[in-house]
Structure 1
Amino acid sequence: MFNTNDIALLMALPGESQGLFEKENINVHYTGIGKVNAAMVAMDVIQKTKCKVIINLGTAGSSKFPTHDLVEVSTFVQRDMDISPLGFKVGETPFDPIPGAIELIPFFPELSQGVCGTGDSFETGTPKVPCELVDMEGYALAKVCRKMGVQLVSLKYITDGADHNAHNDWEANLVLGAKKLLEYYKKMVK
């Protein structure tokens, strides 16, 4: 378990918490949508709070994991970084010392583990980079945490199948997701 003084909780949008965390007086830092917003907020939170651990809770789509599953991210990759015409692998940022795949330390052995592909698009097809779930902020958080020496734990509630109906399913499953994420947050923090 982590001490509350050592952690910061980041979520993309208030819709993902459904106000449940605030009702429990849990401080949530919302990043907004996308990699740039997530990176800016993560850097700001780390500098201001001096946290040792960022807990990232949120939603994701997946064509592998069933809707309503809670998945712990084992690795983040960038699904929309494509400089392949210049000879680089899809998902790899050229000349960057931080790898295109950032592995995390597992926290919940009972949860399914998955590779999460992050991109600045709402994925409804097959990502160019192999991954089992998709989001829009995680890789940026992982990269900032790696650079700043902060541990990242990320849990994703699967709201949709990352398909043509993803936008409808995502909204319909937010409340169930927030309840499950809150339950697991309480297991991490004392």
Structure 2
Amino acid sequence: MIRINSKDSFYIANTLFSFALKSEAAEVFEDCNTLITGIGKVNAAYELTKAIQIKKPSLIVNLGSAGSNYFQKGDVICCTKFVQRDMDVRGLGFELYETPLSGLPSILEYGLVMEGLEQGICGTGDSFEMGHRTTVYNVVDMEGYALAMIAMKENIPFLCLKYISDGADDNAAEDWAVQVHKAALAYGNILKLDLGVRS
């Protein structure tokens, strides 16, 4: 079982663990039900939609690396709010980050809260952000929003944990390469995965 909080627990066998890259899962999750989506919103949306139809998970867990100039490198943050940071249609009178005519707010709120972890707002976009300055979101990734939106529309519980690998600044690329392999170990410890027992 994976215990998220005092109200929410799920069987590991019915949980789909989603990663952008295999290196983020490493050997820690090799015996779990994993999905490697590839990088970016389009890849994430396509692969998760396909996996939901086949695997029909009871819980979707998005795990991956992310940047932040608010949290510290090595922190694991539980994201429950999501912003599509490269959506900008203000020229037509919409709010920044608002997807026109979608009926969705500019900040999407969907996701379980994991006890013991700080919460963050994830800004998702198809760019590796190295000059993060906005205060609307404090975690930067490239898949979270798309995964959260699909989980919400499919009415599947969603947990999003992001390992802070870099500061979303000028050193982001170098820091990410050093830190990304540490993410899987951190997730294994937090989720208390007993890989010898499948329940």
Same fold (TM > 0.5): yes
The answer to whether 1:73 aligns with 2:67 is no
Name the counterpart of 1:112.
Answer: 118
Contact preservation (8 Å) 1:79, 1:127 = no
Q: Distance in 2 between matches of 1:75 and 1:159?
A: 19
Letter in 2 for 1:56: N
Q: Could you list the per-position Cα deviations for residues 116-140 of structure 1 after superposition, in whole angstroms to 9, with x for gaps in the alignment?
A: 0000000111366710010000000
Name the counterpart of 1:161.
Answer: 167
Contact preservation (8 Å) 1:90, 1:129 = no
The answer to whether 1:179 aligns with 2:192 is no
Letter in 1 for 2:17: L
**Secondary structure in 1 matching 2:183:** helix
Shift of 1:184: 2.2
Name the counterpart of 2:64.
Answer: 58
Letter in 2 for 1:174: V
Shift of 1:102: 1.8
Q: TM-score, normalised by structure 1?
A: 0.92
Gaps of 5+ in 2: 1-8
Q: Could you list the per-position Cα deviations for residues 15-37 of structure 1 after superposition, in whole angstroms to 9, with x for gaps in the alignment?
A: 11223221xx1231001000000
Q: Distance in 1 between matches of 2:53 and 2:133?
A: 33
Name the counterpart of 2:4.
Answer: none
The answer to whether 1:9 aligns with 2:17 is yes
Q: TM-score, normalised by structure 2?
A: 0.88
Contact preservation (8 Å) 1:77, 1:129 = no
Pairing partner for 1:20 from 17, 22, 28: 28
Q: Could you list the per-position Cα deviations for residues 137-172 of structure 1 after superposition, in whole angstroms to 9, with x for gaps in the alignment?
A: 000001111111111100000000000110110110
**Secondary structure in 1 matching 2:10:** coil
Over 4 Å off, 4+ runs: 187-190
Gaps of 5+ in 1: none
Pairing partner for 1:39 from 37, 45, 50: 45
* Alpha-carbon RMSD: 1.8
Contact preservation (8 Å) 2:44, 2:143 = yes
**Secondary structure in 2 matching 1:81:** coil
Q: Distance in 2 between matches of 1:157 and 1:164?
A: 19
Name the counterpart of 2:140.
Answer: 134
Contact preservation (8 Å) 1:80, 1:120 = yes
Q: Distance in 1 between matches of 2:135 and 2:90?
A: 12
Q: Distance in 2 between matches of 1:184 and 1:116?
A: 19
Letter in 2 for 1:136: M
